[in-house]
Amino acid sequence: MAAYIEANSNDVAEEKKQFIAVKLTSEVYGIDIGYVDTIVRMQKITRVPKAQSYFKGVINLRGEIVPVMSIRLKMGFADDVFTNASRIIILKIEDQGKLGVIVDEVKEVVNLGEGEIDKPSHDTKENKHSFINGIGKNGEDLISLFDINALTEEN
């Protein structure tokens, strides 16, 4: 118990960053919690004609119109399959307002310290790597951390 508390206080001293771990295809990704406004269940998305292909449309978030983007399509994966576990994570981007992104499943909130985050390897030139700005080590699991700015920017 004492050891646990000590570890915990170390966490604070080390200023761990919190991430929301989400599942997309078979991989786990992390979204910096600082960007997350709220998480909502899948709901009817109104398609916007002529929009970018990776935009699913807009939703009504408590009276506010929020655009919803498919991370899968943006990263070049197969299209989303909506299930009961599907969620829309509403991100708050400075100066640009809110943006929803679709994930297959929200798993948990993880705390990662500086030492637990590695720089991503840039040896592959695959498109999806440009959306990742770190690899987090959550115990045995590896979490790819999204570069939110890269994710929300136009290609």
Partner 1 sequence: MDVSQYLEIFIDETSEHIQSLSDNIMALESDPENKDVVNEIFRAAHSLKGMAGTMGFKRMQHMTHDMENVFQEVRNDTIKVDSNMIDLLFQCLDAIEGYLAIIKETSDEGTNDNEAIIRQLNGFLQSAESASASNSAASAPASAAPAEEASEEEEKKFLTLELDAKDKKKLQDEFLTGKPIYGMTVYICNDCLLKAARAFLVFKAVEEFAEILVYEPSSQDIEDEKFENDFSIFFTTDEALDKVVAAAKAVSEIRDVTAEVITEKFLDESGAEASPVEEKSVQEAPAVPAETTPVKPAASAASNAAVPKKQAGKPVTSRTVRVDIEKLDALMNQVSELIIAKNSLVSLSSNSGAGAQNQSFQEQIEYLERITTGLHESVMKVRMVPIESVVNKFPRMIRDLSRNLNKKMELIMSGEETELDRTVVDQIGDPLQHLLRNSADHGLESAALRKERGKPETGTITLKAFQEGNNVIIEVGDDGNGIDTEAVKQKAIDRGIITAEQAENLSQKEIIDFLFMPSFSMAKKITDISGRGVGLDVVKSNIEALGGDVEVKSVYGEGSIFTVRLPLTLAIIQALMVIIGDEKYAIALGSIVSIEDIPITDIKYVEAKEVINMRGTVIPIIRLNQLLDIAPPEEEQESLTIVIISKGEKQVGLVVDDLMGQQEIVIKSLGSFIDNSTKIISGATILGDGEVALILDVNTLM
Stretch binding partner 1 (CB under 8 A), from 16-24, 49-57, 70-78, 128-136: 49-57
Residue number with CB closer to partner 1 (14 or 147): 147
Q: Residue 144 in contact with residue 30, Cβ under 8 Å?
A: yes
Question: Residue from 49, 94, 121, 126 that binds partner 1 (CB under 8 A)?
Answer: 49
Question: Beta 64-70 vs 27-32: how paired, if at all?
Answer: unpaired
Q: If binding is defined by CB under 8 A, does position 150 make contact with partner 1?
A: no
Out of 8, 25, 33, 48, the only residue in the binding site for partner 1 (CB under 8 A) is 48
Q: Which is nearer to partner 1, 65 or 109 (CB)?
A: 65
- Choose among 82, 126, 78: nearest CA to 103: 82
Which DSSP letter does residue 114 get?
Answer: G
Minimum CB separation from partner 1 for residue 94, in Å? 12
28 or 59: CB nearest partner 1: 59
Residue 75 lies near partner 1 (rule: CB under 8 A)? no
Strand order in the sheet with 105-112: 105-112, 17-24, 27-32, 141-146, 132-138, 117-118
19: left (phi over 0), alpha (psi -120 to 50) or beta: beta
Residues lying near partner 1 in the complex (CB under 8 A): 44, 46-52, 55, 57-60, 63-67, 69, 96-99, 152, 154
